[in-house]
Amino acid sequence: MPDPFSPPESPSAGSLFAAEALLPTGWARDVLIEWDATGRLTTVASGRQPAHGTPRASGPVLPGMPNLHSHAFQRAFAGLTEFRGAAQDSFWSWRTLMYRFASRIAPEQVEAIATWLYVEMLEAGYTSVCEFHYLHHDADGRPYADDAELALALLRAARRAGIGLTLLPVLYQASGFGGTPPSDGQRRFIRATDSMLRLLDRLRAPCEAQGARPGLAPHSLRAVPPDGLREALAGLDAIDATAPIHIHIAEQIAEVDACLAWSGQRPVAWLLDHAPVDARWCLVHATHMDAGEYRRAAASGAVAGLCPTTEANLGDGLFDFDAWRAAGGRWGVGSDSHACVNAAEELLMLEYSQRLATRRRNVGADARHRDVATALTLAAVHGGAQASGRAVGGLGVGQQADFVVLDPMHVALQGLAAPQMLSAHVFASHRTSAIDTVWVGGRQRAVAGRHAARDAAAAAFVAARGQLLAKE
């Protein structure tokens, strides 16, 4: 049987004619889309006639969704923590289970899990991913012979699946505010600042070779003391002064209380006062902010990294979407712990959680787009691209040819106009995919909703998860 992952096809220019396409300004008709051999869009023009021989999209064309927050290995225990352990389960009891799982995972298992996850993402409308990568060392906490071993496993997984990647090695140095020493469960995550800067340097060439963007993820204010944060940011600037920076911030009330006890400030307020937060930053789970923090964080230009299904799964609390958008805040979505891997479903969860909180409908519509699915999709692509530090901002010249074609023959979509098809895809397709083809950099990665390597990747994932569960 030929290896479904290889050989990778050589890059070539291409084109597609779409009867309807969702451009950054909204829906357009008769759109000619062309890209060059590097996979960059060179033409996106509406009102055109299709030239003879130009392939036609089978249905409406959407921008591919950047997934702005992923911990790939966590996919292997999605669904396995849904039972009552402690009298009161919480994010923190979930984290104990996650640490147990993380403590025994091997590099080839990380690669198998990530490859399958990225195949799933592509089939579910994500065309790129920001990997918040904190498993650095072996099970005893010692560096691998090649210190970049696990980062390289993720790069290989992304290349084999054909998904775009922003690789964010995580700086993790303490178990709590004030530099509390790390716990045993955190031994695989720990790096001194100079070790992190060497890793970032080491990853430059392999990232460049596949068009991946390296950045840095200070894990959280509880895991990175102020000196480490300052030195790491200065070191990152020396390597790449425009590289993306992602941080977990204010996900949990206990974290906010601990930050207040340590510094007298809430986490987002502390960060804004002590770090140069700007448009390079992605504030992941900025869930618990006061009114002033919402205003200041939005004004900084940073992207709010929302992970609606994970935040619901972990019982984090609700982000105030109205306050953020009223302040002009940018945002995108991530699948984080991968309890759910589906771009449309993150938008659904976001919209529904806000409806429940505000007792209103159609919260996600905005001044330019009354249609909720259209408004949410465009905003999430825009913010996701900014957080990724890659040209993945939708169907515009100079952006990557990352897009999704909906299946107009899906029962939920048949006979509808294009904006209604997107609505049905987000709100009415019953968790089944209404996606036909998925393209990354002008290359087709899923056809009829399926990735060519689906079966091989799934089998390797199931085997890896079986090995890990056998060690329980």
Catalytic residues: 285, 336
Classified as helix, coil or strand, 11 is: coil
Q: Which of 247, 238, 239, 237 is nearest to 208 (CA)?
A: 239
- CA–chain centroid gap for 170, Å, is 15
| Residue entry with tokens 């007792």 | 359
Measured from the CB atom, the residue of 311 and 336 that comes closer to Zn ion is: 336
Q: Which residue is nearest to Zn ion (CB)?
A: 336
Residues of this chain, 151-180, that bind Zn ion according to CB under 5 A = none
**Shortest separation between residue 307's beta carbon and Zn ion, angstroms:** 7
Beta strand pairing status for 281-284 and 245-248? parallel
Measured from the CB atom, the residue of 336 and 345 that comes closer to Zn ion is: 336
Structure tokens at 58: 């089978």
Measured from the CB atom, the residue of 336 and 436 that comes closer to Zn ion is: 336
Beta strand pairing status for 217-218 and 164-171? parallel
The CA distance from 193 to 3, in Å, is: 40
**Shortest separation between residue 32's beta carbon and Zn ion, angstroms:** 39
**Shortest separation between residue 139's beta carbon and Zn ion, angstroms:** 21
Q: Are 160 and 445 in contact (CB under 8 A)?
A: no
Residues of this chain, 291-350, that bind Zn ion according to CB under 5 A = 336
User: What is the chain's alpha carbon radius of gyration, rounded to the nearest angstrom?
Assistant: 21
Number of residues that bind Zn ion (CB under 5 A): 1
Measured from the CB atom, the residue of 69 and 160 that comes closer to Zn ion is: 69
Beta strand pairing status for 330-333 and 303-306? parallel
**Shortest separation between residue 244's beta carbon and Zn ion, angstroms:** 15
| Residue entry with tokens 């104990």 | 96
Sorted by sequence, the CB contacts under 8 Å of residue 184 that are 6+ apart come out as none
End-to-end CA distance of the chain: 34
Dihedral over Cα of 316, 434, 450, 58: its sign: negative
The CA distance from 319 to 251, in Å, is: 10
**Shortest separation between residue 99's beta carbon and Zn ion, angstroms:** 14
Q: Which of 116, 192, 115, 110 is nearest to 151 (CA)?
A: 110
Residues of this chain, 108-137, that bind Zn ion according to CB under 5 A = none
DSSP 317-339: ----HHHHHHTT-EEEE--BT-S
**Shortest separation between residue 79's beta carbon and Zn ion, angstroms:** 18
Dihedral over Cα of 432, 354, 393, 423: its sign: positive
The 10 Å CB-count burial string (b at 16+, else e) for 55-77 is: eebbbbbbbbbbbbbbbbbbbbb
**Shortest separation between residue 258's beta carbon and Zn ion, angstroms:** 18
The binding site for Zn ion (CB under 5 A) comprises 336
